[in-house]
Structure 1
Amino acid sequence: MKKTSLRRLIDDHQPDAIQRRLNRPNQSNVVADSVLGGIDGCVTTFAVVSGVIGANIYPPVAVVLGFANLVADGFSMAVSNYEAIRTEEERVQSLRQLENEHIDKVPDGEKEEVRQIFSSKGFTGSTLDSIVSTICSNRRLWIDTMLSEEHQVHPNSRSPIKAALATFLAFVFVGAMPLIPFLLTSLTKQSQFTLSAALAAIMFFGIGAIKSHLFSKPIMIGGLKTLLIGGTAATLAFATGFLLKGVFGIDSV
């Protein structure tokens, strides 16, 4: 989170400001999905590029394999993200139905659970009785309390569709960058690879820097850390292509 001044903090914690903030609808945050999609997209395509160059294969192969992987892997990753969020939503809904059923069938037992939960937090006597009475007088609050306190789950405000779309778009956009130089047929293979590596490095560093800026972390460290991850993946791909070239006797092109 970005740092704010003391005056701003005081203003934000006035009763009316607190009420507005708590009543504000939850918004889906797609930053994490975009960052993950962008990093994975760039790693995927630049790994293909590095493997092809390491094996000294005909450069257009990098374009074909790169774009094929870009679309297929981007779609797969987006669908996986969608399903993961939907699965968690279904889990929360299942637990909500379970607690609703328990309240109908064993209300005294459920009240005792609430009592023990807040007793363990240090509440006693009339204060504890008041808390239990207040919570158990509102079925939705009662169920929400059991979800968060007993099952350690919380309603998910993330939109599966928005998360999947953010993942796919970031994956494709960032992942396409290392492939662009191989569309410039006037360049030599070495120039294409050098430019591809430069674009990939910019993408890796940029994603890390943006993420660090959003969460008030050191931009340089965040950028270099992401660059190191991407560079390591590319190095492994290049080395694998180079070694397998000899194993399978691939001729230089």
Structure 2
Amino acid sequence: MSVVQSGDELEAQHRPAAIRARLAAGRRQSHLGDTVLGAIDGCVTTFAVVAGVQGASLSNRVALVLGLANLLADGFSMAVSNYQRSKSERELLDQARRMEELHIERVPEGEREEIRQIFADKGFHGSVLEEIVRIITRNRQRWVDTMLTEELGLQTRGPAPLKSALATFTGFFLAGLIPLLPFVLPLPLSPQGKFYVSAGATATAFFSIGLLKGLVLKRPLLRAGLETLLVGGGAAALAYLVGLWLQDIAGA
């Protein structure tokens, strides 16, 4: 499975109407990445708890209680962390914008020269270069945005902190709930059987989340799915081994 596109698909995506639609969509903030990362972390950590409990030969009730506690506490913690990160990025952008506006107000010719040199480095020169400088600097908003992106390497729109946090928590909670479902639902299975069902459902979730991550990052889908499955499986195996090691301490 691959994200490589055919020549016809690439050509269709580079027609004028398709380009306009893609550029317009690119101006909207997407929180899919926050959701995917939250889902990966939620599924990994919750199943690690389940595997650790199983390794220590504790009861299903312990797995459910610890799993739910982890699901809520770690999900909230991750969401708050992402909120703070997004808020800091937005504050950095606002600070940089104020700085550029101040520079344009106090030293406009110096800022024009910066625009001139930025686009000269891109290969423009002569009257074409001067026309670019004139067009950009006659609009204050466009002037500031150009300085932010070209000089400072910033995006002109920062992430929405609350939406980032909610996307992270939603992904974490929904994916993290999957390993716990066999212990919540009234399945006619033994404790060991419920663990096997949890392991199978979690492995499927790991692979599916990896596929989604591959779509977000534009990577080969099969490779992304297997990588996430291996990482999640490794974390679960480690937790299981720790549970076995601490079995006597746990009083099993």
Task: Return the TM-score normalized by structure 1.
Answer: 0.87
Paired residue for 1:87? Answer: 88
Deviation of the 1:167 alpha carbon: 1.6
Paired residue for 1:251? Answer: 251
- Unpaired segments of 5 or more residues in structure 1? none
Paired residue for 1:226? Answer: 228
Deviation of the 1:51 alpha carbon: 1.0
Label 1:169 to 1:71 Cα distance change in 2 as closer, same or farther (>3 A): same
Q: Distance in 2 between matches of 1:158 and 1:169?
A: 17
Deviation of the 1:22 alpha carbon: 4.2
- The count of residues paired between Structure 1 and Structure 2 equals 249
- Unpaired segments of 5 or more residues in structure 2? none
Q: Distance in 2 between matches of 1:106 and 1:87?
A: 28
Label 1:218 to 1:19 Cα distance change in 2 as closer, same or farther (>3 A): closer
Deviation of the 1:194 alpha carbon: 1.0
CA RMSD of aligned residues (A): 2.5
Residue 180, structure 1, aligned to residue 184, structure 2: no
Paired residue for 2:11? Answer: 9
Label 1:196 to 1:21 Cα distance change in 2 as closer, same or farther (>3 A): closer
Q: Distance in 1 between matches of 2:92 and 2:212?
A: 33
CA contact (8 A) 1:2 1:214 kept: no
Paired residue for 1:71? Answer: 72
Aligned 1:1-253 pairs, distance under 5 A: 3=5, 6=8, 9=11, 12-14=14-16, 18-19=19-20, 21-23=22-24, 26-156=27-157, 158-183=159-184, 184=186, 186-212=188-214, 217-246=219-248, 248=249, 250-252=250-252
Deviation of the 1:196 alpha carbon: 1.1
Q: Distance in 2 between matches of 1:185 and 1:11?
A: 48
Deviation of the 1:74 alpha carbon: 1.1
The 3-state SS of whatever aligns with 1:245 is: coil
Letter in 2 for 1:138: N
CA contact (8 A) 2:33 2:216 kept: no
CA contact (8 A) 2:90 2:158 kept: no
Letter in 1 for 2:233: G
Letter in 2 for 1:251: G
Percent of paired sites with the same residue: 46
Deviation of the 1:110 alpha carbon: 1.2
Deviation of the 1:4 alpha carbon: 6.3
Q: Distance in 2 between matches of 1:251 and 1:124?
A: 78
